[in-house]
A and B are shown apart, each in its own frame.
Chain A
Amino acid sequence: MSEFLRSDVMIAFAVMTAVTVASRLGGYWLMGYVTVTPRVRRMLDALPGSIIVAAALPVAVNGGPVVMFAIAAAMAVTIIRRNDFIAVITGMAVAAIARALGLAG
C-alpha cells in the first residue's frame, strides 16, 4: 500500500482535486444568482471563442514556427472540410513531419 499509494502524494492529489472541483462547480453555482440580462448573455456567448484564443495563442506564439504552421494547417483544413477530426490529425501530422525533417520547435 505505502509504495503504490504514498500518503503525501494522495494529499497533494486531494488538494488539486478540491480546487478543480471547486472550479467546475463554482461557475455553475454562481450563475444561479446572476440574472441573465442581454449583457450577461453577450458575455457568456463570447466565452468559448475567448477561452480558445487565450489558451491557444500564447502556446502557438511560444511554440515557434512549427507549432504556428501546424495550427494554421489545422484551421485551413477546417475552413475547407469542416471536419474537426481531420483538422486535429493534420495539426499533429504537420508538426510530426516538420520535426522529423529536423525543423526546431
Chain B
Amino acid sequence: MTTHIPKAPAYWSREAIMPGIVAIGPMLPGTLAFAMAFGAQCAQKNFSLVEVEVMMATVYGGLSQFVAVQSWPDRLTPSSIATLALLTLTVNIRFFLMSATLRPWFGTLPAWQAYPAMLLVTDGGWLAAMRYREHGGANAWYYLGGALLLYVVWLFAAIPGFLLAEQLTDPKKYGVDLVMPAFYAAMLVPAWKGPRRAIPWVVSGAVALLVHWLVPGWWFIIAGALSGAITAGLLDEPEPHHGRAA
C-alpha cells in the first residue's frame, strides 16, 4: 500500500452500524436473487425446505452451496461426502485469506468477539469492510452490521425461491450469474492505485486462468489469489532505501 495511513485498533461503537449496512446495500439485490435461485435449485434437487435452511444457516457460502448442490450425488457415501467436502474447501478456502487480512484490524479485540465475527466473512461484506479500513476506519460495527444483514437476507431469501421453483428454472434469464462478477468488477475500480499496484492482479489472473484450464474444479481461485499476494510480497517497496533483492 502506498497510502500509509496509521490505522487505529478496533473498537465498537454503534454509530457505524448504519454506514456498514449502507455499504453492503449494493450486494442486497444480488444476494436476494442468488439465494432465491439457490432455493429453486434445491427444490428441483428434492431437498426439503428445512434442509435448505439448515444449509443456508450453517455452510453459509453461496458459491460453495451452489457448486455442491449442482454435483450432489444420488447416494451419499463416505467417499461422496469426502468429495463434497473437498469441493467446498476449494471454493471456500478464499475465506482463509480474507479472515487473515482482518487480523491486523480485529487482533486487539478479545478472542470471544473476534472469532464469532469471522464466521460471517463473505465476499461482499469483506470487500466493503476492507475499503472502509483502507480509509482509516476502525469501528468493528461497520463490518459486523453489514455482515449480520447479509446473513439474515441470505437466510430468508431462499424461502421464496424454494416455493417459486417452477418459475425460476433458468436464473440466467435474469442475469443472476452476473451478480458476483459485476460486484467484483465494481470493487476493483476503486482499488486501482496505478499500474504498479496492479502487477499482482495480472499475475493472479494469469495463474487463475491457467489453473482453470489445467486443473478440474475450483482450485483456480486460491491458486490465483495466493500467486497475486506472493507477487506483491516479492515486489520491493516503491520508496528508495528499501532496494533489497526479493
Contact = CB atoms under 8 A, between A and B. Distances in A.
B208 A30 contact: no
A13 B26 contact: no
Contact of A75 (B88, B121, B185): B185
Contact of A20 (B88, B190, B228): B88
A50 to B, nearest CB: 3
B60 interface: yes
Given A42-B233, A54-B205, A88 B182 contact: yes
Main secondary structure of the interface of B (DSSP, over half): helix
A48 B131 CA distance: 9
Interface string A24-41: 111110111000101111
Interface string B161-182: 0000000000011111111111
Interface residues of B, number: 99
A48 B48 CA distance: 36
A97 to B, nearest CB: 8
A88 B229 contact: no
B145 interface: no
Interface of B: 1, 25-27, 29-30, 33, 47-51, 54-55, 58-61, 64, 68, 76, 81-82, 84-85, 88-89, 92-104, 106-107, 114-115, 118-119, 121, 123, 126-127, 130, 172-191, 197-198, 200-201, 203-205, 207-209, 212, 220-233, 235, 237, 242
18 contacts: A4-B48, A4-B50, A6-B51, A16-B84, A20-B59, A20-B92, A23-B99, A24-B119, A47-B100, A50-B228, A82-B189, A88-B27, A91-B181, A92-B174, A92-B176, A95-B175, A95-B178, A99-B175
